[in-house]
Structure 1
Amino acid sequence: MKKEDIPQDPSALQNVTKEVSYAVDENGKYVTELSAGWDVKIKALDVAWSDIEKKVAGARQKVLNKEASPLLYFMELKLMDIEILSAYTGFWKWQVKRHLKPSVFEKLSAKKLQRYATAFDVTVEALKNVNWNETGV
């Protein structure tokens, strides 16, 4: 693709990041050029973010219904899974799974709650509070 043909379609990330693309300049040499976005990729990202938002909303509802602990909500919100959260907190994966149960979560010590709060970059109070508004914590 020629340097002047690199897509510059506006996207939600255009003010945050640019993508490096390879192109051919006027002398026929390969050069790198920044792209603001490409319509097809933008649509794919929009679909992916929509799926993530649905998962976060579903996790929030499970927490409010007492089907899961707040850890599930924050895991979805921060794009983590059990393995990643285990690595960040130092808990074994089986412990994280167990802590996803509301009855077990309610009995966690302040020290354990702080480890989770640190991993999610929230306060312990925010971690324990299940009366969130519609926009989150």
Structure 2
Amino acid sequence: MKKEDVPQDQGNLSRTDLKELVYATDENGKYTTALSSGWEPKSIALSNSIEEISERIAIAKAQVVNNEISPISYYMEFCRMDIGVLSSYVGMWQWRVKRHFKPKVFAGLSDKILKKYSDAFNITVEELKNFKVN
């Protein structure tokens, strides 16, 4: 895209002083950088993904309250992680992390293991053990 054609739509970035750096071609056809305040399709996609993440967090919260899953699953969603990312942070196999989603298994975890999770979520072990509904 040419530098003069870089989108300046009213999007998520336009509500702030932030601009996104994008590549474009100048009048000589050489690649250069330009600032964009937003692009409508990208803003729509970003809004949709944020809504989906919010829904997944709400579902996980309700499941923890109903004792269907452990707080580990909620905090994983809240911190925008997936099984692969979380397992790498805590240094455990994915199957083991999934097992810790079970409330009965979670209840028997040692403080040493819970500390790994709490560090990954940037919370205390007590916050992880005593999930509070806000």
Pairing 1:26-105 to 2, within 5 Å after superposition: 26-105=27-106
TM-score by length of 1: 0.85
In structure 2, what is the Cα distance between the partners aligned to 1:132 and 1:117?
17
Distance 2:2 2:105 in 1: 59
Supply the RMSD in Å over aligned alpha carbons.
Answer: 2.0
Q: In 2 relative to 1, CA 95–16 (structure 1 residues): closer, same or farther, beyond 3 Å? A: farther
- Aligned counterpart, 1:3: 3
Deviates more, 1:42-51 or 1:77-86: 77-86
Hey, what's the Cα distance between the residues in 2 that align with 1:17 and 1:95?
41
Q: 1:11 to 1:125 in 2, by over 3 A?
A: farther
The structural deviation recorded for 1:28 is 4.4
- The answer to whether the Cα contact below 8 Å between 2:23 and 2:32 also exists between their aligned partners in 1 is yes
- Following the alignment from structure 1 to structure 2, what is the Cα–Cα distance between the partners of residues 11 and 109? 46
Q: Residue type of the partner of 2:44?
A: K
Identify the residue that residue 25 of structure 2 maps to in structure 1.
24
Task: Report how far residue 117 of structure 1 moved.
Answer: 0.3
Take 2:126 and 2:30, find their aligned partners in 1: how far apart are those partners?
Answer: 57
Give 5+ residue unaligned stretches, structure 2: none
Percent identical: 52
Q: 1:123 to 1:22 in 2, by over 3 A?
A: same
Give the TM-score, by structure 2 length: 0.86
Structure 1 regions of 5+ residues with no counterpart? none
Shift of 1:16: 8.5
After TM superposition, the structure 1 stretch with the greater mean CA deviation from structure 2, 54-63 or 89-98, is: 89-98
CA distance in 1, matches of 2:95, 2:128: 20
CA distance in 2, matches of 1:131, 1:66: 13
What are the Cα deviations for residues 29-61 of structure 1, in whole angstroms up to 9, with x where unaligned? 332112222011101110111011000100000
Letter of the aligned partner of 1:66 in structure 2?
N
CA distance in 1: counterparts of 2:78 and 2:96, whole angstroms: 20
Alpha-carbon separation, structure 2, partners of 1:13 and 1:76: 24
